[in-house]
Amino acid sequence: MQPTDTTNASLSLDAYDYQLPEALVAQYPLSQRHESRMMVLNRKTGEISHHRFYDLPQFLDPGDLVVLNNTKVLPSRFLGNRVGFTGRIEVLLLYPNAEATQETSSPVWHALLRPARKLKEGTVIEFLQISAGISATMTVYKLEEGGRGQVAIDLPKGESVETLMDTLGQMPIPPYLNRPVEPSDKETYQTVFASVPGAQAAPTAGLHFTPEVLQQLKDKDIGVTEVTLSVSSGTFRSVDESDITRHVMDPEYYTVPEAAARQIHQTRQNGGRIIAIGTTVTKTLETVAAKHQGKITPGSDWSRLFIYPGFQFQAVDMLLTNFHLPKTTLLMLVSAFANRESILKAYHQAVANEYRFFSYGDCMLIL
Residues 299/332, Cβ–Cβ less than 8 Å:
no
Give the residue among 98, 314, 67 at the shortest CA–CA distance from 305: 314
Tell me how far apart the alpha carbons of residues 41 and 50 are, in angstroms, rounded to a whole number.
9
What pLDDT does residue 238 have?
80
CA 97 to CA 110: how far, in whole Å? 6
Pick the closest to residue 337 from 246, 288, 274, 247 (CA basis). Answer: 274
Sign of CA dihedral 110, 115, 120, 126: negative
b/e sequence 323-348, b meaning 16+ C-beta within 10 Å: bbbbbbbbbbbbbbbbbbebbbebbe
- Residue 172: asked if its preceding bond is cis (omega within 30°), the reply is no
Tell me what pLDDT residue 25 has. Answer: 96
Radius of gyration over alpha carbons of the chain, in Å? 21
Nearest of 188, 180, 187 to residue 359 by alpha carbon: 188
β pairing state of 77-82 and 88-96: antiparallel
How far lies 178's CA from each of 26, 181, 364, in Å?
10, 10, 24
CB 172 within 8 A of CB 73: yes
118: nearest Cα among 151, 93, 164, 87: 87
What is the CB-side half-sphere exposure of residue 263 using CA atoms within 13 A? 21
pLDDT at 2: 43
Q: Give the 3-state secondary structure of residue 151.
A: strand
Burial degree of 351 (CB within 10 A; 0-12, 13-18, 19+): middle
- Domain ranges in the chain are 8-73+185-366, 77-168
In the sheet with 252-256, reading across from the earlier edge strand, the strands are 48-52, 37-41, 363-366, 318-322, 274-277, 65-69, 223-229, 252-256, 299-303
Do residues 68 and 226 lie in contact, with contact meaning Cβ atoms separated by under 8 Å?
yes
Fold match between 8-73+185-366 and 77-168?
A: no
As a CATH number, domain 77-168 is: 2.40.10.240
The dotted CATH code for 8-73+185-366 is: 3.40.1780.10
Cα angle vertex 323, ends 317, 326, to 5°?
115
Per-residue pLDDT of the chain (367 residues; tens, 9 = 90+): 344 455 577 899 999 999 999 999 999 999 999 999 999 999 999 999 999 999 999 999 999 999 999 999 999 999 999 987 878 899 999 888 888 878 888 899 999 999 988 899 999 999 987 556 678 899 999 999 888 899 999 987 878 898 899 889 999 999 889 899 999 999 999 999 999 999 999 999 999 999 999 999 999 999 999 999 999 877 777 898 999 999 999 889 999 999 999 999 999 999 999 999 999 999 999 999 999 999 999 999 999 999 999 999 999 999 999 999 999 999 999 999 999 999 999 999 999 999 999 999 999 999 9
The whole model's pTM is what? 0.90
Residue 236 near residue 175 (C-beta atoms within 8 A): yes
